[in-house]
């Protein structure tokens, strides 16, 4: 009998794309080429991720992180090395700790808080290697290529990966029903806007967008978030008080009883620090 935190679900999304979802509903994506496979993000670091990957492919697997937050790099310890966005290097040491991972667990599974101490989790090997990737880097898996795109916002180093053959964009936490700039390493609203404009220019060539916490991201989320950035800067948003992982801030639009749904029916909300609209703190 599996323990609650060991549950992992796999869904095949296409001939080359598999979504792996752990017990706290964090999505990871395994992209399989003819010669290699790539894992985009590694979850919180519990459950049999290795065995799950091997049930899909026996090819060598390289790990790439969309950004460096505990629910994405906590499972890096299943590997000997990982490729991360250069802009997030300073976040690595804390993000892989169990203390950091428990902080995110409290947000996602508060109903299981009393059972967190029973979780068996992976730790990072002492000789673990952090590699860095940059804008435009292309990773060839054999018939499948992934292109790295620097997209500051959720963190300074946040990056997306474009599956060039299937025209699928993997965005990590950059686009969300509640995109947050309040998390550790987040940018200002003004710094987020060029990222959204970059994605807007790409949208005609994009078939599907996947993030790490929703079923998928509708394309209009990009326009909706741009609209919210303008409203925030003009002071015309709804300014709903929120707290994200102990960080106080504002939510741009009123929601329904479901905090992921905007009252106006549009997809995509924005959590931000009203004191950090223009300049990132050093």
Q: Decide if 279 is inside a domain.
A: no
pLDDT for 110-140, tens place per residue? 888 888 889 999 999 999 999 999 999 999 9
- The whole-angstrom separation of Cα 59 and Cα 34 is 8
Most confident residue range from 97-101, 112-116, 158-162: 158-162
Domain count, the chain: 1
Kindly report the pTM of this predicted structure: 0.96
- The whole-angstrom separation of Cα 161 and Cα 156 is 16
Residue 223: give its domain's CATH number.
Answer: 3.60.15.10
pLDDT for 188-228, tens place per residue? 999 999 999 999 999 999 999 999 999 999 999 999 999 99
Q: Decide if 193 is inside a domain.
A: yes
Across 93-127, b (16+ Cβ under 10 Å) vs e yields: eebbebebbbbbbeeebeebeeeeeebebbebeee
Q: Decide if 93 is inside a domain.
A: yes
pLDDT for 225-273, tens place per residue? 999 999 999 999 999 999 998 889 999 999 999 999 999 999 999 999 9
Q: Which domain holds residue 72?
A: 4-272
């Amino acid at each position: 009998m599996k323990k609650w935190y060991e549950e992992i679900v796999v869904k095949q999304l296409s001939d080359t794309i598999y979504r792996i979802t752990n017990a706290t509903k964090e999505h990871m994506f395994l992209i399989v080429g003819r010669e290699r496979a790539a894992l985009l993000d590694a979850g919180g670091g519990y459950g049999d991720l290795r065995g799950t990957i091997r049930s899909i492919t026996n090819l060598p697997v390289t790990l790439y992180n969309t950004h460096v937050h505990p629910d994405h790099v906590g499972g890096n310890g299943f590997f000997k090395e990982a490729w991360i966005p250069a802009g997030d290097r300073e976040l690595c040491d804390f993000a892989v700790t169990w203390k950091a991972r428990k902080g995110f667990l409290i947000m996602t599974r508060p109903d299981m808080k009393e059972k967190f101490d029973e979780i068996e989790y992976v730790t990072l090997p002492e000789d673990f290697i952090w590699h860095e990737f940059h804008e435009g880097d292309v990773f060839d898996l054999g018939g499948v290529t992934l292109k790295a795109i620097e997209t500051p916002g959720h963190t300074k180093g946040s990056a997306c990966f474009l599956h060039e053959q299937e025209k699928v964009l993997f965005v990590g936490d950059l686009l969300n029903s509640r995109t947050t700039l309040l998390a550790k390493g987040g940018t200002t609203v003004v710094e987020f806007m060029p990222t959204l404009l970059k994605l807007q220019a790409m949208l005609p060539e994009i078939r599907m967008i996947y993030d790490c916490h929703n079923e998928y991201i509708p394309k209009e989320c990009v326009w909706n978030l741009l609209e919210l950035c303008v409203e925030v800067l003009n002071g015309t948003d709804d300014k709903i008080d929120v707290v994200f992982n102990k960080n106080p801030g504002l939510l741009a639009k009123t929601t329904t009883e479901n905090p992921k749904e905007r009252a106006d029916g549009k997809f995509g909300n924005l959590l931000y620090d009203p004191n950090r609209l223009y300049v990132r703190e050093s």
